[in-house]
Structure 1
Amino acid sequence: MHFEFEAEIWRWQARNDDGWLFVTVPEELSADIREVPRMPRGFGSVRVRVGIGGTEWMTSIFPSGDTYALPLKKAVRVAEELGLGDVCTVRLETVDI
């Protein structure tokens, strides 16, 4: 499954450092992802390939209420000059591993 969406970068409230920033996968796309049968993974995570700008990487998205949260590691944010509150375009592909 391939998706593209825009999302605002937010900080996980349990941590005050700059290391835990996320974007939210929109509710409708999250529902589509949730409907696909797959082997269970830790914390209900789903393995994905992600692209923002010219940066691509593999990671997991994690359930967060009716949506999924996508972590944005610092190396990606630095490479794409992104920070808290910025809006970015995300390319996301689910990966069956």
Structure 2
Amino acid sequence: MEFRFSGEIWHWRGPSPFYFVTMPEDQCRELHEVSAAVSYGWGCVPCTVTLGDTTWQTSMFPKDGRYLVPLKAKVRRAEDVDEGMVVDLRLAVSS
């Protein structure tokens, strides 16, 4: 299952600060239909994400009915992106 979408980078300033892009609501509904088959626990969904020329493996986190795509510092530096910027992501759900 593959998705393409644009989203704004935002910074979560909790005990373990991190940067995320939130998957659009309509695609979250589609993903939720198969998430039980691909999740390894706590609703986390493994995936391969591409931003620009950078591809990495990660897991999306469910939050408030949506999925969050984490952006590592290494990825943000390689693609010269930061909080508040809108980015285009390509995402393949791992099975």
TM-score normalised to structure 1 length: 0.90
Partner of 2:94: 95
Distance in 2 (alpha carbons) for counterparts of 1:80 and 1:69: 19
Distance in 1 (alpha carbons) for counterparts of 2:28 and 2:46: 13
SS of match in other structure, 1:83: coil
1:28 to 26, 29, 42: 26
CA deviations over 1:28-66 (Å, ceiling 9, x no partner): 101111101415423210010100000001100010112
Deviating beyond 3 angstroms after TM superposition, the runs of 4 or more aligned structure 1 residues are: none
RMSD of the TM alignment (CA)? 1.5
Q: Percent identity?
A: 39
Contact 2:9 2:21 in 1 (8 A): yes
Distance in 2 (alpha carbons) for counterparts of 1:58 and 1:31: 22
For residues 93 and 65 of structure 1, do their structure 2 counterparts lie closer, same or farther at Cα, with a shift above 3 Å needed? same
Distance in 1 (alpha carbons) for counterparts of 2:91 and 2:61: 13
SS of match in other structure, 1:49: strand
Partner of 1:4: 4
User: Is 1:42 matched up with 2:30?
Assistant: no
The count of aligned residue pairs is 94
Gaps in structure 1 of 5+ consecutive residues: none
